[in-house]
Structure 1
Amino acid sequence: MKTTKIHSALFGVAVGDALGVPVEFKSREYFKNNPVISMQEFGTHHQPKGTWSDDSSLTFCLADSLCKGYDINDIANNFVLWRQEQLWTPHGRVFDIGIATNFAIHSIESGTKPLLAGGTSERDNGNGSLMRILPLLFYVKDFNITKRFDTVKEVSSITHAHIRSVIACFIYIEYALFLSEGKNKEEAFERMKEKVTDFLTNNPICSQAEIDKFHRVLENQVGDYEIVKLAELKEKEISSSGYVLSSLEASLWCLLNSNTYEETVLKAVNLGGDTDTTAAIAGGLAGLLYGYENIPQEWINVLARKDDITKLCDKMSEKYEIHN
């Protein structure tokens, strides 16, 4: 099978997601005695082995829409179809949905325009847009940085419109862009920090206080405190909750402290908490870094709707990899 970076990214997300589904909400202490080392079944959501969650469902909904081109209304409609008609569910049923995402989709169903549907308060900063944003990379990869940011902002805002969620998605896409260009994880991280910091500080997008929220990711000085190196933080300093900034930090930390796809996603799952989403976010980056062929085949083989995911990747690759 001929694979592209799109296969690497989307399967990277789904495999990480499926590893985390059976143990979602388990504590970090639980994993000290019961570490996840392979695909499991049943557990938290009582799903068969290889089942992915809303993280992958919404990722596939976005990718599916992008196969036709960029249309924010069509992307939002796919999200509605997922909740209403089980589009891109692993087994024909939605079994997990975030509060903010659920509320936004309901607003769209009620007639709210997609760009106005996402929550805008500080409390609306769960990881629901970050977990599904990766397919957008292949549409925006040749844009200038301002257009990339504006497009990421639109797609995040369907469900999560607060600037913190938007910046988290933007950082993730910028890092993914450098990884997709073949840079190693350290060089890509350094380039991302430089580009994002320059862009955020030279454009009237948000306050300095908001930029400072990302100081552990961008490794920027905040007040008189020493600069924190994300990769050097101890595990106990990494949160794996559903807060968007925690999810971004945790996924990057896992990638920077691992040397294979397998190690990255298992490290993410074994952090506990929002296991499926942390592993999905980290897994997408790890897929880009290490390639589809380095995702364990036994994990791919048990993945729900594996053939449908492959067809989706083929279709998206035809539009964004082969023709561009």
Structure 2
Amino acid sequence: MLGGAVGDALGWPIEFLTLKQIRERHGEAGVTGFLPGPIAGAPQPITDDTQMTMFTAEGLLRTPAGGDTAPVLRRAYLRWRDTQQQNGPGPEADGWLARQQFLYAMRAPGNACMTGLRRQAEEFVPAGEFGKPGPVNPNSKGCGTVMRSAPFGLANFGPDRAFHAAMRCAQLTHGHPTAYLSAGAFAVLIDQVLAGVELPIAVQSTIARIAPMPSSAETVTALSSALAIAQLGEATPERLELIGAGWTAETCLAIAVYCALHTYRTGDVRGAFLLAVNHSGDSDSTGAVAGNLLGATYGLNALPMDWIGALEGRDELFRIADDLVLNFFYNDRTDLDSRYPIDTELAR
């Protein structure tokens, strides 16, 4: 959770710049840390990537034990949608997370997320047939699915349930099979590295898991490319850009894998974050997904504490991360029900 927020905040100011423009403005090394904001000393802003990830976690924490995640996640994402349409929490804000003022900031949310949730606000549209375009935004394969899906891998579901839960909930907004399969693959990766599987093996086993599935070719190709390009030598932005720009779900995931593999080979966590954002593409989303993977793989102590200390919403991110552990690894909901009331209105 914290690693994702770090990558998100690092990448947001340069999201729409080319690598050439980044280097012209910030030097040959590109961005090497947080850029100064308009208000000196203010926290480093997070974007919709981290906002939606937090609401994913909140939705999972509000799902009844053994219950269907999709209807509950729909309602969680609609609470996030409210934060993009209101100036602050109203008196009827539903739950602890929706009462956090800092989340009521609109920072270039993805079009498919917004249009998909507009349709979900009218009625619950469940996932379609696996391997075929879903009913909501069937042609959308943007990275808005992957960038919010790390919590499915943090919920101690095991790889099968993590995959299917992430995949079905991705279809709430994105119907393209590559979009929802990539979200499922990311959840599996997070689940596996948390279980102690070494990163290259986790990537290879994820590829093997999804390769036989219908419509998986794009995701399999992107992940295989990340593994192959990582073998070419020193990780560079130019080699990273051989994978893609990160705007689509499969390239965003593959870029994150490439950056995390850099840390696996070198031990350089800070360099992986910077690699994930200094390129021509969706820098905040690739930074966020890479940060999720780095945090899950190497733990809190490996993350740059100076960057974590500067984050907007840092305390809330710590809390929700701790609450995930308490709920899903220790089955301890002491003090959690007040923050995450179980969503029992599944029939709506």
TM-score (norm 1): 0.82
Q: CA RMSD in A?
A: 2.7
- Structure 2 SS opposite 1:160: coil
**In structure 2, distance between residues paired with 1:30 and 1:304:** 26
Percent identity (aligned): 21
Residue 180 of structure 1, CA deviation: 0.9
- Structure 2 SS opposite 1:214: helix
Residue 216 of structure 1, CA deviation: 3.1
Match of 1:276 among 284, 294, 298: 284
Distance 1:218 1:53, change over 3 A: closer
**In structure 1, distance between residues paired with 2:299 and 2:57:** 18
1:245-302 deviation digits (Å, cap 9, x = unpaired): 2212211111112333312111011023211000001110011111111111111111
Q: State the partner residue of 2:261.
A: 256
Asked whether 1:40 is paired with 2:35, we answer: yes
Could you tell me whether the CA contact under 8 Å between 2:112 and 2:137 is conserved in 1?
Answer: no
Distance 1:293 1:118, change over 3 A: farther
**In structure 1, distance between residues paired with 2:278 and 2:268:** 15
Q: State the partner residue of 1:65.
A: 59
- Structure 2 SS opposite 1:121: coil
Could you tell me whether the CA contact under 8 Å between 1:260 and 1:286 is conserved in 2?
Answer: no
- Structure 1 SS opposite 2:20: helix
**In structure 1, distance between residues paired with 2:176 and 2:81:** 23
**In structure 2, distance between residues paired with 1:178 and 1:295:** 19
Aligned residue-pair number = 295
1:204-235 deviation digits (Å, cap 9, x = unpaired): x52xxx33323434539xxxxxx982423623
- Structure 1 SS opposite 2:155: helix
Match of 1:162 among 163, 169, 176: 176
Could you tell me whether the CA contact under 8 Å between 1:174 and 1:196 is conserved in 2?
Answer: no
Residue 75 of structure 1, CA deviation: 1.6
Distance 1:228 1:288, change over 3 A: closer
- Structure 1 SS opposite 2:216: helix
**In structure 2, distance between residues paired with 1:23 and 1:139:** 32
**In structure 2, distance between residues paired with 1:61 and 1:102:** 14
**In structure 2, distance between residues paired with 1:18 and 1:256:** 21
What amino acid is aligned across from residue 318 of structure 2 in structure 1?
Answer: T
Distance 1:94 1:276, change over 3 A: same
> Between Structure 1 and Structure 2, which shows a larger proportion of helix residues?
1
**In structure 2, distance between residues paired with 1:65 and 1:55:** 15
**In structure 1, distance between residues paired with 2:42 and 2:246:** 24
**In structure 1, distance between residues paired with 2:72 and 2:199:** 34
**In structure 2, distance between residues paired with 1:101 and 1:21:** 18
TM-score (norm 2): 0.76
Residue 66 of structure 1, CA deviation: 1.2
Equivalence map 1:1-324=2 (5 Å):
10-33=1-24, 34=26, 35-42=30-37, 49-69=43-63, 71-85=69-83, 87=98, 90=102, 92-113=104-125, 115=127, 119-122=136-139, 124-139=140-155, 141-142=157-158, 145=160, 147-197=161-211, 201=212, 205-206=213-214, 210-219=215-224, 229-232=228-231, 234-258=239-263, 259-323=267-331
Gaps of at least 5 residues in structure 1 are 1-9, 221-226
Distance 1:119 1:49, change over 3 A: same
Residue 236 of structure 1, CA deviation: 4.0
Could you tell me whether the CA contact under 8 Å between 2:153 and 2:189 is conserved in 1?
Answer: no
- Structure 1 SS opposite 2:208: helix
Distance 1:250 1:73, change over 3 A: same
Could you tell me whether the CA contact under 8 Å between 1:16 and 1:283 is conserved in 2?
Answer: yes
- Structure 2 SS opposite 1:219: helix
1:145-167 deviation digits (Å, cap 9, x = unpaired): 2x443322211111112211121
1:97-140 deviation digits (Å, cap 9, x = unpaired): 11100101111222343547863433x01000110001011335
